[in-house]
Structure formats: structure tokens, C-alpha cells
Amino acid sequence: MDIVLDILKYALPSVFLLILCYMMLSNFMENEEKRRSYFLKKETQKSALPVRLQAYERLSLFLERITPDRLLVRLHSQGLTAQQYQTLLTETIREEFEHNLSQQIYISDEAWKLIVDSKSATVGIINNISREFKPKDDAMALRKTILNRTMEMESFPTKKALRYLKGEVKRDF
């Protein structure tokens, strides 16, 4: 019996010390991993920040470019029919959108949804107004009607999306 007590007297503190060392070492390793992860994330953000800001800039430009008052100024209607002008407007919006598709990975899902909704609403407004015209009507009349109707709107969808983008940039950067 004395032998067992002697063994326990020396083994028990050793086992306790071993458990304590294991806990301290695992805690140290966990903290070290968190520290490495933090610095890696920090370095990644340094290089990603300019790219993310550029994405916000490009999407802001996209929203500005598809707003009807700016879109109509850029795309001339001389010599076109109403149907041709409608097609030109919607194709231009689609091309602008496709050009900026890759930017969605740098912004929030809510912001991207607003951008997609703005694009769809703009195309929808153009298409709805175009239905009031015969295909062979003059494009200038369509252009004036689109401009007048969108000026009457209190808030155009692209403006709402642009405000959201600006707010997201201010909040995140």
C-alpha cells in the first residue's frame, strides 16, 4: 500500500502538471493562430480596399449613366424610329450592366439587389413609355416623353440605389 501511495504522490503532481502544460500550450497556439489570421486579414484588406472602392465607383458611374436624363443626352435619336431608339436605349443599359457584372463580388448583397432592381426598373420605364408610341414614330417624341415622365418622378430607382451605395461606403470605410 505504501508503494501505491508513493507512486501517486509523485505521479499525481506530474499528471496535473502535464494537463496544465497542455492547456497552456493549446491556449497559446490558439491565440497565435488568431494573431496570424488577424495580420493576414489586415494585409489582405490593404490590397483589397482600393479594389472595393473602385467597384463602388464603377457601380456609381453605372447608375449615373443609366439614369434617363443622362442616358438620353448621350444617345442621339436623330434619324431613328421610336422602336429603334427604344432598342438602342435598352441595349446600352444591358451592355453597361454586363460590363459591371463582376463588381458584385465587392459589394453587399443588398446593394447589388438595388442595382439590379434599378436597372430593371429603368428598362421597364423605357419599355412602358415606348408602348405608347407606334414603332415607326419619331424617336425625338419618345425621347421627350421619357425625359418628361422621369422628371415628374419624385425619386428615380437609380437615385435610391446610389444613395444606398454612398451610405454603404461611408459605413464601411
In this predicted structure, what is the pLDDT of residue 25? 95
State the Cα–Cα distance between residues 8 and 2, nearest whole angstrom: 10
In this predicted structure, what is the pLDDT of residue 45? 78
Q: Under 8 Å CB-to-CB from 71, ≥6 apart: which residues?
A: 65, 89, 92, 93
State the Cα–Cα distance between residues 110 and 45, nearest whole angstrom: 21
CB 134 within 8 A of CB 98: no
Give the pLDDT confidence of 40-58 residue by residue, as tens digits: 888 877 888 899 999 999 9
State the Cα–Cα distance between residues 30 and 37, nearest whole angstrom: 11
Q: What residue ranges of the chain have pLDDT lower than 70?
A: none
CB 117 within 8 A of CB 161: yes
In this predicted structure, what is the pLDDT of residue 4? 82
In this predicted structure, what is the pLDDT of residue 46? 82
Spell out the domain ranges in the chain: 49-172
Tell me the whole-structure pTM to 2 decimals: 0.76
| Helices and strands in the chain: count of H runs, count of E runs | 6, 0
